[in-house]
């Protein structure tokens, strides 16, 4: 038996590849399936099962394409209905894989079809669970994502999750390994660890939601407290995972269409495409195509695209660093953005060399900010998360998290100047590009963000350890 965790950091997502005696199973695969096909060929094994722990909201699974390519069945837990061929398994149903066995444990609460797959070794001993979004390391799945579909309140779903954990998960032996679907950075939970593997025993000791003396009422209160609204694209990804989608190869083929500089603006106008510039924030600030949005490929690219653009059907034109076109299309497809028309041939350099109009962002160094800033007079907008702001911030700064810019941008006074920053410059450049695309020119973005500001004499709030402000 071999277990491989295939972790994708930008999505904080874990897929799993398990082999035994010439047979393989893949759990929660990513959209692009070629890496899995390569593994199967390398190991000379046959894919027998594609297990899905639930209908994912934060990414589009590769289950449909993988099943078509291999003939392996797609297996969900109870209550799952698909617009393609799939098996909705039953609670405690077993699936033999070589010398080992998977046992389906129905663990609703995050969603009603959510299931955990228990792996038993060849002796029949419980070895590991693949817990999906039911149990994370340090956290549990948020119970609000399936509220409408399940016709249940958040509290009712949380209560269901409480019993799933107590009746199905916590009864397992302490040495059973826990392999979750996500780690820190995912919006599917609120307090996940950076660790991506643990044990049942460790989680009983360290996970706030698995306290032995925790009542159902306490669980409901603590799990639902501090939940932020889910990103706009989540519902659309669920629909794609349930209903099917266009082949990844087709999406990649379309997205890899080079578009000449002379045609770029016309294509954008004809298609209503958004121009997405994925270069790093420092390079972008010095010159970019007017009205383009900067979300750097080097950060949490796909989740930010999903959060801020929202509509996965939005046509997109790309401006990338040379050689990163395919990676960009691939990462966009993982969160359902399949309407990628093509990319600017030659990149921004070709645009600039053609003497087309360019725009810039008014970015200053932290030293210049510290010298120019007038406390109690100048306005500062801090776009970090609420917990980051609560830990420490510039005195009198306003907290306007980037995730909600489409709401708070409407309240900006275009005549009132302000400074803009995040933690290091990645998110503030995203915000700057969105603001300028909507006509705002009354701000100055601070290079290096609060990480650099904290080292200056600019007045700041008292520092509070961030773990103390996490909900």
User: Could you tell me if residue 241 is inside a domain?
Assistant: no
Q: Give the bridge partners for 65, in sequence order.
A: none
**Same domain flag for 101 and 180:** yes
Question: Residue 353: its pLDDT value, please?
Answer: 96
User: Could you tell me if residue 217 is inside a domain?
Assistant: yes
**Same domain flag for 144 and 6:** yes
**Same domain flag for 285 and 200:** no
Query: Rounded CA gap, 28 and 19, in Å?
Result: 15
**Same domain flag for 80 and 10:** yes
**Same domain flag for 348 and 377:** no
Q: Give 17-70 pLDDT, tens digit per residue.
A: 999 999 999 999 999 999 999 999 999 999 999 999 999 999 999 999 999 999
Domain boundary among the residues 335, 353, 371 is at 353
Question: Residue 327: its pLDDT value, please?
Answer: 97
Identify the burial level of 391 via C-beta atoms within 10 angstroms of its C-beta, where 0-12 means exposed, 13-18 middle and 19 or more buried: buried
Query: Rounded CA gap, 433 and 452, in Å?
Result: 21
Q: Give 176-203 pLDDT, tens digit per residue.
A: 999 999 998 888 888 789 999 999 999 9
Q: Strand, coil or helix: what is 440? A: coil
Q: How far is CA 450 from CA 70, 299, 323, 371, 445, in A?
A: 49, 17, 32, 15, 11
Domain boundary among the residues 323, 353, 383 is at 353
pLDDT exceeds cutoff 50 at 204 = yes
**Same domain flag for 26 and 78:** yes
The values of phi and psi at residue 460, to 5°, are -130, 160
- 300: closest CA among 50, 44, 27, 10? 10
- 412: closest CA among 394, 390, 436? 436
Encode 228-257 in three state secondary structure.
Answer: CCCCCCHHHHHHHHHHCCCCHHHHHHHHCC
User: Could you tell me if residue 457 is inside a domain?
Assistant: yes
Q: Give 253-282 pLDDT, tens digit per residue.
A: 999 999 999 999 999 999 999 999 999 999
**Same domain flag for 196 and 54:** yes
Question: Residue 470: its pLDDT value, please?
Answer: 39
Query: Rounded CA gap, 365 and 347, in Å?
Result: 27
Sign of CA dihedral 49, 99, 78, 105: negative
CATH number, domain with residue 255: 3.40.250.10
**Same domain flag for 85 and 179:** yes
Question: Can you give the pTM of this predicted structure?
Answer: 0.93
User: Could you tell me if residue 198 is inside a domain?
Assistant: yes
Question: Residue 203: its pLDDT value, please?
Answer: 97
Q: In the structure, what pLDDT confidence band is assigned to residue 149 with cuts at 50, 70 and 90?
A: low
Domain boundary among the residues 207, 235, 263 is at 235
Structure tokens at 97: 């894989």
Average pLDDT (139-155) is: 83
| Average pLDDT score, the chain | 95
**Same domain flag for 312 and 399:** no
Q: Give 298-345 pLDDT, tens digit per residue.
A: 989 999 999 999 999 999 999 999 999 999 999 999 999 999 999 999
Q: How far is CA 133 from CA 187, 232, 361, 449, in A?
A: 11, 19, 40, 33
Q: How many domains does one find in the chain?
A: 3
Q: Give 373-397 pLDDT, tens digit per residue.
A: 999 999 999 999 998 999 999 999 9
- 121: closest CA among 75, 71, 175? 175
Domain with 65 in it: 2-235
Q: In the structure, what pLDDT confidence band is assigned to residue 466 with cuts at 50, 70 and 90?
A: very low
CATH number, domain with residue 174: 3.60.15.10
Q: Which residues of 70-85 are buried (b: 16+ CB within 10 A; e: fewer)?
A: bebbbbbbbbbebeee
Q: Give 76-128 pLDDT, tens digit per residue.
A: 999 999 999 999 999 999 999 999 999 999 999 999 999 999 999 999 999 99
Query: Rounded CA gap, 74 and 405, in Å?
Result: 38
Q: In the structure, what pLDDT confidence band is assigned to residue 12 with cuts at 50, 70 and 90?
A: very high
């Amino acid at each position: 038996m071999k277990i491989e965790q295939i972790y994708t950091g930008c999505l904080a997502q874990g897929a799993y590849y398990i082999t035994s005696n010439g047979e393989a199973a893949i759990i929660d695969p990513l959209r692009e399936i070629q890496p899995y096909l390569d593994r199967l060929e390398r190991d000379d094994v046959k894919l027998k099962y594609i297990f899905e722990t639930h209908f994912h909201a934060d990414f589009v699974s590769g289950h449909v394409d993988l099943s078509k390519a291999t003939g392996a069945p797609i297996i969900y837990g109870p209550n799952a209905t698909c617009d393609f061929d799939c098996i909705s398994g039953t609670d405690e149903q077993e699936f033999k894989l070589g010398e080992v066995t998977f046992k389906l444990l129905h663990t609703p609460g995050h969603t009603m079809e959510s299931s955990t797959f228990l792996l038993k070794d060849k002796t029949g001993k419980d070895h590991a669970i693949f817990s999906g979004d039911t149990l994370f390391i340090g956290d549990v799945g948020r119970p609000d994502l399936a509220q409408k579909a399940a016709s249940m309140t958040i509290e009712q779903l949380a209560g269901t999750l409480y019993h799933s954990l107590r009746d199905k998960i916590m009864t397992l032996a302490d040495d059973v390994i826990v392999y979750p679907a996500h780690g820190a950075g995912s919006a599917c939970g609120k307090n996940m660890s950076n660790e991506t593997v643990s044990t049942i025993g460790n989680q009983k000791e360290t996970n706030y939601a698995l306290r032995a003396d925790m009542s159902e009422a306490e669980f409901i209160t603590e799990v639902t407290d501090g939940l932020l609204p889910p990103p706009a694209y989540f519902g659309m990804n669920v629909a794609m995972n349930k209903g099917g989608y266009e082949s990844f190869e087709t999406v990649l083929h379309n997205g890899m269409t080079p578009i000449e500089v002379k045609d770029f603006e016309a294509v954008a106008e004809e298609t209503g495409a958004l121009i997405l510039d994925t270069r790093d924030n420092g390079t972008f600030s010095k010159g970019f195509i007017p009205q383009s949005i900067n979300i750097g490929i080097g950060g949490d690219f796909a989740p930010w695209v999903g959060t801020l653009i929202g509509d996965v059907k939005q046509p997109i034109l790309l401006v990338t660093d040379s050689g990163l076109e395919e990676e960009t299309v691939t990462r966009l497809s993982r969160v359902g953005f399949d309407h990628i028309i093509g990319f600017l041939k030659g990149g921004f350099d070709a645009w600039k060399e053609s003497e087309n109009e360019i725009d810039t962002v008014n970015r200053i160094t932290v030293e210049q900010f510290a010298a120019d800033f007038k406390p109690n007079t100048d306005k500062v907008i801090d776009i970090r998360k609420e917990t980051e702001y609560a830990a420490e911030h510039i005195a009198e700064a306003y907290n306007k998290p980037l995730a909600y810019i489409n709401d708070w941008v409407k309240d900006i006074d275009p005549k009132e100047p302000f400074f803009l920053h995040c933690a290091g410059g990645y998110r503030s450049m995203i915000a700057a590009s969105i603001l300028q695309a909507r006509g705002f020119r009354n701000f100055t973005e601070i290079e290096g963000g609060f990480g650099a500001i904290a080292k200056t004499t600019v007045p700041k709030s008292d520092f509070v350890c961030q773990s103390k402000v996490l909900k």
